[in-house]
Amino acid sequence: MANKDSYARRHRYLDDKITRLEKNKSHNHELINDLKKQKLRLKDRMVMIDRNAMQDRDVRLAMGLGS
């Protein structure tokens, strides 16, 4: 399983690639849409990682295990 940092790097890479394609008035709208979908999936994974980390922390605190 990849970590959040690698997802964030990939997300930035896709964002840069989309920006370049849009600036160059690329006519490959299908490619741009696919890249945007990939970017959204990565963002969803990063949010899920954050959510799971917060839940884990809350469980540890509730059990008195500290952080």
Distance CA(32)–CA(27), nearest Å, equals: 9
Q: What is the pLDDT of residue 66?
A: 61
Question: pLDDT band at residue 1, thresholds of 50, 70 and 90?
Answer: very low
Q: Is residue 16 part of a domain?
A: yes
Number of domains in the chain: 1
Beta carbons of 8 and 46 less than 8 angstroms apart? yes
Q: Which two tokens stand for residue 61?
A: 């605190």
| 33: pLDDT strictly greater than 60 | yes
- Tens-digit pLDDT profile for residues 37-66: 999 999 999 999 989 988 888 888 888 876
Q: Is residue 57 part of a domain?
A: yes
Q: What is the pLDDT of residue 2?
A: 66
Domain that holds residue 20: 4-62
Q: Is residue 39 part of a domain?
A: yes
Q: Is residue 67 part of a domain?
A: no
- Tens-digit pLDDT profile for residues 15-31: 999 999 999 887 889 99
